[in-house]
Amino acid sequence: MAALQPAKTSSPLRALILEDSDDDVLLLVTHLRRSGFELTYRRADSAAGCERALAEEPWDIVFADYQMPQFTALDALKVLHRRRIDIPFIIVSGSIGESAAVEAMRAGAHDFFLKGNLTRLASAVERERNEAEVRRERREAIKELRESQERLRQAVRARDDFLAIASHELKTPLTSLSLQVESILQGPDDGARSILEKQRAKLQSVAHQVTRLTALINNFLEVTKITSRGLHLSPTSFDLRELVDGVVAGLEDMRRRSGSRITVIAEQPAVGTWDRSAMESVLVNLLTNALKYGDGKPVEIELSTLQGTDELSIVISDHGIGIAPKEQERIFYRFERAVPKEHFGGIGLGLWVARQIVEAHRGTITVASRPRRGSIFTVVLPLRADTRSASRGTA
Amino acid sequence: MTARTVMVVDDDQDIREVLTEILTDAGYTVVPSVNGSDALAKLGQVTPSLILLDLNMPVMDGIAFRHEQQQDPRFAAIPTVVMSAVHKMDEQVAHLGIADALAKPVNLNDLMQVVSRYCG
């Protein structure tokens, strides 16, 4: 408790003394110097003088008479408050009633003393100076924390802007590339322009790489959007069965290479209100995985409306390599995959993106899997996405 | 002279070239433009059956072009299809009153279907 003892050694103290009586200033100054403070001070007894002193120099402490002819301690407290100066403020008064003292403390004074009894003053000065220092350190720490949070936010924003711009820029050359390749593959086979089968196979491989790059760029963009601004759905009413057919058609090239057969099972139209392009991402990601890890065996995708509920389930099953039980939870996290990365391409964003989108629709996505038997991914969606509360972000 | 003419508005030279080549091979006349204001100038001389419009372009972008086009009674009725790499394009073009939208990288079959739908 050394800090609470009067300073025995010489301790510099810059004091602003608000006092109209010369004698009282002398009394206070003498007392403080005797208590061991190496005191420098300035005196003021008006609002203007107080303002000037605070504007011109830094102060460790303010001593104020409660009532001066032109000015009061409460006026001075207002000035400090307005100038956002947080230093100890101690009232030293000839007489102060209890209610006036309480009012002054409420207004921000830290302590009060009667001029006739200054015994505790030195220890109060030390204590209040330490407490002001603690408050200052805490303010600085909070300020630093806010600044570093802001720097982090800016860094994340810069990364996301970069990804969005880079993805956009990548798509333009990809467009020329894919159109050129497709136009060669689909061009008129009129002898003069025909291409050799071997060249055709190579071009098909090029086309496949273009598809992969496109999917990768789209996932980057999804992740960027979700992490930076949250996922905002734009639900429209459509038949999910048609979307599934479109996605399956788009993945035909990949399916052929995988050797798997895809069967769509849907007894009736699956009309609901969801974000179409987001749901397309979910289907592409799940089906791509089923083909990638499906070991060439059949893949089924089944849509069904759950009896007695307003929910639809999408079940995508493969009979491939499967996922070990301990891996099944973490595959939905970013950059996590259940297989050693040397064996399969990709960077592990697809299931994370799928989960964010499904959960934003207030749906669920789960996996059941056995190694070497295959995996079953089940998505359950409400038929109507609740758009009022469906926007969410996950950093 | 206007039948089967497609105006391609895109600031990327490679895109203009590949679209010109593919559409010319398919029997269309292609009028390439490098941005919105170039396209407006050319619309004074030719009336295409279809405009394929990029969004992000210098000088005058696709959205500004579309507003100008809609305000000019000579051009307002020309079917316009946006072809862009912007993310969530559907949301960005929702208020443009366009005939269709193709996301880059565009699929050749989708492109040919859209072009033949509006050019016959």
pLDDT (tens digit per residue) in B48-86: 999 999 998 888 899 999 999 999 999 999 999 999 988
Asked if residue A48 has pLDDT above 90, the reply is: yes
Beta carbons of A111 and A84 less than 8 angstroms apart: no
Residues 116-135 of A with CB under 8 A from B: none
- Is pLDDT larger for residue A109 or for residue A269? A109
A277-286 pLDDT tens trace: 889 989 999 9
Asked if residue A81 has pLDDT above 90, the reply is: yes
A54 pLDDT band, cuts 50/70/90, is very high
- Is pLDDT larger for residue A105 or for residue A230? A105
Cβ-based contacts of A221 with chain B (< 8 Å): 87
A190 pLDDT band, cuts 50/70/90, is low
Average pLDDT of span A232-240: 88
d(CA A118, CA A111): 12
Flag whether residue B12 sits within 8 Å of chain A, measured between CB atoms.
yes
Cβ-based contacts of B91 with chain A (< 8 Å): 234
**ipTM, 2 decimals?**
0.81
Average pLDDT of span A111-127: 92
pLDDT at B103: 87
Residue B73 C-alpha, separation from nearest chain A C-alpha, in angstroms: 32
Reported pTM: 0.56
Residue A117 carries which DSSP code?
B
Give whichever of A88-97, A326-335, B87-96 has the largest mean pLDDT. Answer: A88-97
A342 pLDDT band, cuts 50/70/90, is very low
Residue among B83, B88, B89 with most chain A CBs within 10 A, to mutate: B88
Contacts of A236 (CB under 8 A, 6+ apart): A273, A274, A275, A276
Residue B116 C-alpha, separation from nearest chain A C-alpha, in angstroms: 16
**β A235-239/A271-275 pair status:** antiparallel
Residue type, B85: A
Contacts of A184 (CB under 8 A, 6+ apart): A195, A203
pLDDT at A196: 78
Asked if residue A52 has pLDDT above 50, the reply is: yes
Which among B90, B91, B108 has CB closest to A183? B108
Average pLDDT of span B17-38: 93
Asked if residue A3 has pLDDT above 60, the reply is: no
Asked if residue A343 has pLDDT above 60, the reply is: no
Which among B14, B22, B106 has CB closest to A173? B14
Tokens of A172: 């333009």
A348 pLDDT band, cuts 50/70/90, is low
pLDDT at B1: 43
Beta carbons of A161 and A40 less than 8 angstroms apart: no
Which among B15, B25, B90 has CB closest to A172? B15
Cβ-based contacts of A171 with chain B (< 8 Å): 85, 104-105
**β A262-266/A89-93 pair status:** unpaired
Flag whether residue A234 sits within 8 Å of chain B, measured between CB atoms.
yes
Percent of chain A with pLDDT over 70: 89
Asked if residue B27 has pLDDT above 80, the reply is: yes
Q: What is the C-alpha R_g of chain B?
A: 13
Asked if residue A252 has pLDDT above 90, the reply is: no
Residue B119 C-alpha, separation from nearest chain A C-alpha, in angstroms: 19
